[in-house]
């Protein structure tokens, strides 16, 4: 995949190019991006609060949020970062500027709440329960002991919520903290002290549970970052081995990997043979044999045997590190559904608040109904009005889908492409390097006269011993093992025709049909073999001397073994496949017949491929394109989703493709579509569940059948439900999870 792809397709500015917090001060003409970690920012409530505070500040150009990782990127033209940090501190956000160092594997979040915080929350719950018991026992709901217990509960469990509510009121931000604060104040105003205490306690407890659920999501996403070991055994000057931090190992160093260990850094095998489990990077199900000269990747597992590996990339530049960076950036790219939900929530919350206000005011004033009863109904509506479940459902679901794809060796550059993948109805496939391996190999040998096939290959390999032509390399690779090549004298290249040389004192030629005709050596047997090979779409060469035609060799690009299965799986999903190739029509039809592709467009220039993509979009709608070469760049850029083949270890492919298949397995294409469709269904389920729960409780509130604490349970319960449903995608492909349903999509 070439840089042209990245130049032709406009990319979203994710805002993740960052500067160290110690960088020189920016000038007004020099926009800078500063990255902040905000530990108490974990849901859309905090995001909206921060947006309302920062977006109106002079010099602030753009804000990008990553709620899963609790990161905020601020693009600004300020002279100093201090103004941003002061503004964040004013709304209670604990922001720490971080630099653009290589990604590190964050420690797992195991204790988001301290023991003291849990004890204080327990005291709040005990006091709230005691207040309810006293009220049920006959004490008045506004009696001194009930009020005292309620106050203890509110102070112990509700001060953080009330403080956030006050900040939201000052910044004119409608969020759950403000709505909950209004509900508590309203309940106290109408004398419902036990109810106010129970609401604030239940909300605080639900916040803790929700935070723990998001922590689980965060840890699941970060699990990918922790697969590479932190240390490596490095060869030192005296020939011994020393354990060194992986991020301190220089390029060119020699590291040792024992059986069962993970490889710490990208490199090339210098000594030893083993099988390496590359599933964490490429998603391959079986270990791959590695020997001297083979590339290995950080985070993969050495199954058996000792390997010595020459490091080719620093820790921060490894294939795993690049995958991590892409995953971090994609979390800042909102999917279309997420953008729609965010816009919807901006109108939804004020509308519901206005409706609650009407419920509280209109019936008592217009119809003389009891004010306290209708105020209570309005308070229940305020509690259930928060759009948290609706808004948090999309990023959790999309990030889970992206992580599940990365675990399978499918690197997706953002939620927008995951959503687009669910709509694909056709995929255009390049031939050379995509459906085929792009490496010519000997497909068939025809020996004439007394020679055997092995003899023909030996003579052909001898003539090609000094040639670097791809066909020559194919014949050299096919030469019989264990037999010495024949000595060739008077070797000469015959451009456009073949080669010649003397073997055993006799002139031999190896070339195409044109050379055969020029030398007047054509025979009926040779012509028949050449015609048969060409009909099969193969490249044919003939070996002959001054007396006889000795044999014919057919060379062809090798079909990828998984290609027929991939095409069949795509067809089962209702996705049409079309071959787009610059090769001749006969060869293209032969490959299409082997793979099961019905539509073939051959002898295409790069601009012709672009035109074919336009035609397919008109016929099918959303179209994908899979390719591996520079000539595929225009078509890849024009398709809804561009797939890069064999991206493992390739900087350019990882950085420019919409979806990078980390190995060369075309079966990842239907797997990506199944995952994309499963993600789309989960998104729809989450949105529907959140809206239905709220609609039901609105109706119950108006009917007087819902209480404040029930509304709290419903609101946070909906949030927990959508988070848990989104996290199911992390198990995509496990028994009983997603793919079975996805096949029907």
pLDDT of residue 650: 55
Residue 245 lies in a domain: yes
- Give me the residues paired with residue 35 across strands: 73, 98
- Domain membership flag for residue 150: no
Contacts with 453 (C-beta within 8 Å, 6 or more apart), sequence order: 445, 446, 447, 551
Q: How many helices (H) and strands (E) does the chain have?
A: 25, 26
3-state secondary structure of 741: helix
Question: How many angstroms separate the CA atoms of 37 and 163, rounded?
Answer: 22
Q: In the listed set 317, 344, 359, which residue is the last one of a domain according to the structure?
A: 317
What confidence score (pLDDT) does residue 97 get? Answer: 84
Domain count, the chain: 3
Contact 603, 580 (CB under 8 A): no
Tokens of 350: 């004020």
User: What is the rounded distance in angstroms from the CA atom of residue 212 to the CA atom of residue 575?
Assistant: 40
The owner of tokens 């820790």 is 315
Instruction: Evaluate whether 123 touches 152 at the Cβ level (below 8 Å).
Output: yes
Task: Tell me the CA distances in angstroms from 394 to 62, 67, 362, 379, 719, one per residue in order.
Answer: 21, 11, 36, 27, 11
Residue 53 in contact with residue 164, Cβ under 8 Å?
A: no
* Enzyme catalytic residues: 430
Q: Half-sphere exposure of residue 220, counting CA atoms within 13 Å on the CB side?
A: 25
Domain annotation covers residue 272: yes
pLDDT attached to residue 242:
92
The pLDDT assigned to 326 comes to: 67
Residues with Cβ within 8 Å of 484's Cβ and at least 6 positions away in sequence, in order, are none
Question: For the residues of 235-251, what is the DSSP string, one character each?
Answer: E-TTS-EEEEEGGGPPT
How do beta strands 410-412 and 623-627 pair?
Answer: unpaired
Residue at a domain's end among 280, 300, 317? 317
Taking the C-alpha atoms of residue 467 and residue 488, their distance in angstroms, rounded to an integer, is: 12
Sign of CA dihedral 642, 643, 646, 648: positive
DSSP label of 433: I
> Residue 65 has which token pair?
């949020």
3-state secondary structure 508-557: EEEECHHHHHHCCCCCHHHHHHHHHHHHCCCEEEEEEECCCEEEEEEEEE
3-state secondary structure (DSSP) of residue 149:
helix
> Can you tell me the distance from the alpha carbon of 732 to that of 681, in angstroms, rounded to the nearest whole number?
13
Rg (Cα) of the chain, in Å, rounded?
34
Of 627, 594, 678, give the one whose Cα is nearest residue 408.
678
- The pLDDT, as a whole number, for residue 68 is 67
- Rounded Cα gap, residues 474 and 479, in angstroms: 9
Q: Helix, strand or coil for residue 274?
A: strand
Domain span holding position 480 = 437-558
**What's the CATH number where 235 sits?**
2.70.150.10
Element (H, E) at 243: strand 241-245
Tell me which of 500, 532, 558 is where a domain ends.
558
Spatial distance between the Cα atoms of 556 and 478, rounded to a whole number of angstroms = 13
Residue 692 lies in a domain: no
Q: Is 668 a domain residue?
A: no
CATH number at residue 552: 3.40.1110.10
Q: How far apart are CA 464 and CA 488, in angstroms?
A: 9
pLDDT digits (tens, 9 = 90+) for 390-446: 777 777 788 888 888 888 888 888 788 899 999 999 999 988 778 888 778 898 999
Tokens for 718?
């909906």
Any idea what the CATH number is for the domain that residue 56 is in?
A: 3.30.70.100
CA–CA dist 49, 348 (Å, integer): 16
**Longest pairwise C-alpha distance within the chain:** 120
CA–CA distance, 668 with 644 (Å, rounded to integer): 11
* Residue 238 in domain: yes
Report how far residue 194's alpha carbon sits from residue 141's, in angstroms, rounded to the nearest whole number: 7
Report if residue 71 sits inside a domain: yes
pLDDT < 50 positions in the chain: 1-28, 100-108, 110-111, 649, 735-745
Report the b/e string of 17-54 with b at 16+ CB within 10 A: ebbeeeeeebeeeeebbbbbbbeebbbbbbbbbbebbb
The residue to which tokens 């997706």 are assigned: 412
pLDDT for the residue 102 = 40
616 part of a folded domain = no
Report which DSSP code applies to 596.
T
């Amino acid at each position: 995949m070439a840089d042209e792809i990245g130049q032709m397709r406009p990319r979203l500015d994710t805002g993740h190019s960052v500067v160290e917090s110690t960088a020189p001060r920016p000038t007004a003409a020099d926009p800078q991006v500063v990255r902040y970690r905000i530990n108490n920012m974990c849901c859309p409530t905090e995001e909206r609060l921060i947006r309302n505070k920062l977006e109106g500040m002079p010099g602030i150009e753009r804000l990008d949020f990553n709620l899963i990782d609790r990161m905020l990127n601020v693009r600004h033209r300020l002279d100093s970062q201090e103004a941003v940090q002061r503004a964040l501190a004013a709304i209670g956000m604990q922001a720490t500027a971080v630099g653009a160092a290589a990604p590190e594997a964050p420690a797992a979040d195991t204790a988001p709440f301290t023991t003291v915080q849990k004890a204080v929350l327990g005291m709040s719950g005990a006091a709230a329960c005691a207040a309810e018991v006293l009220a049920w026992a006959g004490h008045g709901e506004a009696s001194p002991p009930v009020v005292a217990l309620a106050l203890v509960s509110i102070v112990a469990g509700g001060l953080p919520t009330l403080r956030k509510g006050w900040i939201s009121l000052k910044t004119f931000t409608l969020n759950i903290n403000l709505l909950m604060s209004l509900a508590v104040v309203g309940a106290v105003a109408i004398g419902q002290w036990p109810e106010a205490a129970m609401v604030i306690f239940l909300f605080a407890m639900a916040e803790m549970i929700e935070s723990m659920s998001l922590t689980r999501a965060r840890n699941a996403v970060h699990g990918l970052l922790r697969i590479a070991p932190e240390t490596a055994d490095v060869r030192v000057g005296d020939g011994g081995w020393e354990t060194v931090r992986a991020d301190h190992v220089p390029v060119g160093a020699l590291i040792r990997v024992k059986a069962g260990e993970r490889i710490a850094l990208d490199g090339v095998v210098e000594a030893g043979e083993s099988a390496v489990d590359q599933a964490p990077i490429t998603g391959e199900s079986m270990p791959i044999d590695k020997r001297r000269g083979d590339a290995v990747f950080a985070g993969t597992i050495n199954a058996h045997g000792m390997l010595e590996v020459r490091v080719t990339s620093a820790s921060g530049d490894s294939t795993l590190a690049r995958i991590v960076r892409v995953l971090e950036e994609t979390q800042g790219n909102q999917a279309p559904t997420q953008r729609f939900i965010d816009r919807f929530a901006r109108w939804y919350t004020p509308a519901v608040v206005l409706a609650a206000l009407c419920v509280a005011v209109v019936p008592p004033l217009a119809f003389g109904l009891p004010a306290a009863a209708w105020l209570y109904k309005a308070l229940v509506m305020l509690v259930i009005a928060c759009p948290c479940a609706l808004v948090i459902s999309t990023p959790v679901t999309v990030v889970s889908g992206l992580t599940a794809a990365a675990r399978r060796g499918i690197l997706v550059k953002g939620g927008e492409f995951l959503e687009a993948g669910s709509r694909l109805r056709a995929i255009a496939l390049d031939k050379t390097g995509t459906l085929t391996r792009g490496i010519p190999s000997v497909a068939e040998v025809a020996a004439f006269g007394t020679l055997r096939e092995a003899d023909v290959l030996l003579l052909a390999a001898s003539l090609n011993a000094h040639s670097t032509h791809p066909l020559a390399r194919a014949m050299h690779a096919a030469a019989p093992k264990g037999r010495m090549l024949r000595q060739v004298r008077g070797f000469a290249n015959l451009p456009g025709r073949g080669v010649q040389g003397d073997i055993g004192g006799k002139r031999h030629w190896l070339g195409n049909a044109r050379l055969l005709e020029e030398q007047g050596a054509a025979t009926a047997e040779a012509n028949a073999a050449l015609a048969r090979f060409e009909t099969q779409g193969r490249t044919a060469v003939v070996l002959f001397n001054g007396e006889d035609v000795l044999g014919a060799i057919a060379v062809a690009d090798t079909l990828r073994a998984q290609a027929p299965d991939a095409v069949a799986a795509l067809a089962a999903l209702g996705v049409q496949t079309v071959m787009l190739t610059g090769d001749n029509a006969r060869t293209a039809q032969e490959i299409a017949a082997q793979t099961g592709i019905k539509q073939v467009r051959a002898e295409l220039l790069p601009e012709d491929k672009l035109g074919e993509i336009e035609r397919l979009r008109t016929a099918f709608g959303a179209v994908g394109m899979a390719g591996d070469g520079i000539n595929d760049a225009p078509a890849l850029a024009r398709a809804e989703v561009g797939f890069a083949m064999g991206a493992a270890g390739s900087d350019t492919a990882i950085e420019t493709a919409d979806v990078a298949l980390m190995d060369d397995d075309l079966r990842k294409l239907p797997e990506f579509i199944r995952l994309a469709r499963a993600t789309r269904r989960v998104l729809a389920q989450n949105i529907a569940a959140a809206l239905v729960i709220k609609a039901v409780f609105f109706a119950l509130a108006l009917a007087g059948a819902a209480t404040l604490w029930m509304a709290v349970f419903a609101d946070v319960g909906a949030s927990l439900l959508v988070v848990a449903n989104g996290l199911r995608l992390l198990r995509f492909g496990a028994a009983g999870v997603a793919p079975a349903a996805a096949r029907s999509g």
